[in-house]
Amino acid sequence: MAIVALAGGVGASKLLLGLSKVLPAEDLTVTVNTGDDLELHGLSISPDLDIVTYTLAGIANPATGWGIREDTFAALEWLGKYGRPAWFHLGDRDLATHIHRTALLRSGSSVSEAGHSISAAFGVKVRILPMSDQPVRTMLRTSEGLLAFQEYLVHRRAEPVVEGIEFAGAGQALPSPGVIESIGSADGIVICPSNPLISIGPILAVPGIREALRARRSEVLAVSPIVGGKSLKGPSDRMLEQLGMKASALTVAGLYRDFAGRFLLDLQDHELQPSIEALDMKVALAQTVMRSDDDKRVLAQSVLSFLGQARK
């Protein structure tokens, strides 16, 4: 069963790990948000691509979900001595990834090619595609002015009030090679439990991707990133409310209704099932909170069986 997953970072990578355990690697293609990318210390950094790659390689830091397990921070400390920004915690091993990516990009490789070189080095067989090879940058209009995504999330700890979201460069971006084709030929497409506004939103802003999903609506399944009115990871709940929406799985279903025909809702939110069905979406219930590797596998199985029903 060929599956395409649309993914942000930490929230998505748990489900991706589950899917990678229940599917042959060659059956899984992941299209990853690059709106969070940044340039720091002269290096090109793609956090979500790296989080997905490190997770599938089994080397992600289990405490944070980002960065590399047992990494050290000697270079960061010394960068700080030079007065360079040290708020974005780049570990020594992680820095090697950014140096390698930057060198490849400078010598003419695309973001996709650089990403492939990194995942291949760790023996990751799952196909990991950036949403675009062109730069798209998620920018937040906030109470403190226009902030680049990592400035808002990490440097300012998501404290400024969000008043609007922009995806700079999205209008000129193209889906990276394989993104549209894989959506068209997949047996099922999964929208991972990522922030709908700033993790899935940038992917949908790349011209052609939302349309490709719409054409497959009955085989597109979204996994709710909001359970009991709270985000599974990150500031989605607060951000939805600051933008005048209710933090609820129903809101997420509403944001996805034009291209997702299936919605996997947490058991805790069962009372929302009729309202989501009224959006012309089929609903299944499962435990979507993934604490253990077993939870990840079980949720991945639920995703596949719900998608399997679309093919009957």
Q: Is 265 helix (H, G, I), strand (E, B) or coil?
A: strand
Structure tokens given for 4: 């395409």
Q: Which is nearer to ligand FO1, 55 or 182 (CB)?
A: 55
Q: Which is nearer to ligand FO1, 17 or 283 (CB)?
A: 17
Residues whose CB is less than 8 angstroms from the CB of residue 138 and which lie 6 or more positions away in sequence, other chains included: 35, 36, 148, 149, 165, 166, 167, 168, 198, 201, 202
Q: Which is nearer to ligand FO1, 154 or 168 (CB)?
A: 154
Structure tokens given for 280: 């012309």
| Residue 167 C-beta: closest distance to ligand FO1, Å | 14
**Whether the Cβ atoms of residue 248 and residue 272 lie closer than 8 Å to each other:** yes
Tell me the longest C-alpha to C-alpha distance in the chain: 62
**Whether the Cβ atoms of residue 28 and residue 192 lie closer than 8 Å to each other:** no
| Residue 193 C-beta: closest distance to ligand FO1, Å | 12
| Residue 140 C-beta: closest distance to ligand FO1, Å | 13
Q: Which is nearer to ligand FO1, 38 or 285 (CB)?
A: 38
Q: Which is nearer to ligand FO1, 94 or 269 (CB)?
A: 94
Q: Which is nearer to ligand FO1, 94 or 266 (CB)?
A: 94
| Residue 9 C-beta: closest distance to ligand FO1, Å | 3
Q: Which is nearer to ligand FO1, 36 or 237 (CB)?
A: 36
Report strand pairing: 28-32 vs 127-130.
parallel
| Residue 186 C-beta: closest distance to ligand FO1, Å | 23
Q: Select the residue whose beta carbon is closest to ligand FO1 and give its number.
A: 9
Backbone angles phi, psi at 3, to 5 degrees: -120, 135
Q: How far, in Å, are 170, 201, 243, 301, 306 from residue 13 at the CA level?
A: 24, 17, 26, 15, 20
| Residue 59 C-beta: closest distance to ligand FO1, Å | 12
Binding interface with ligand FO1 (CB under 6 A)? 8-10, 36, 47-48, 50-51, 66-67, 88-90, 94, 150, 153-154
Runs of H (alpha helix) within the chain: 10-22, 47-57, 74-81, 92-106, 111-121, 149-150, 179-185, 201-205, 209-214, 236-242, 249-256, 273-277, 293-310
| Residue 273 C-beta: closest distance to ligand FO1, Å | 29
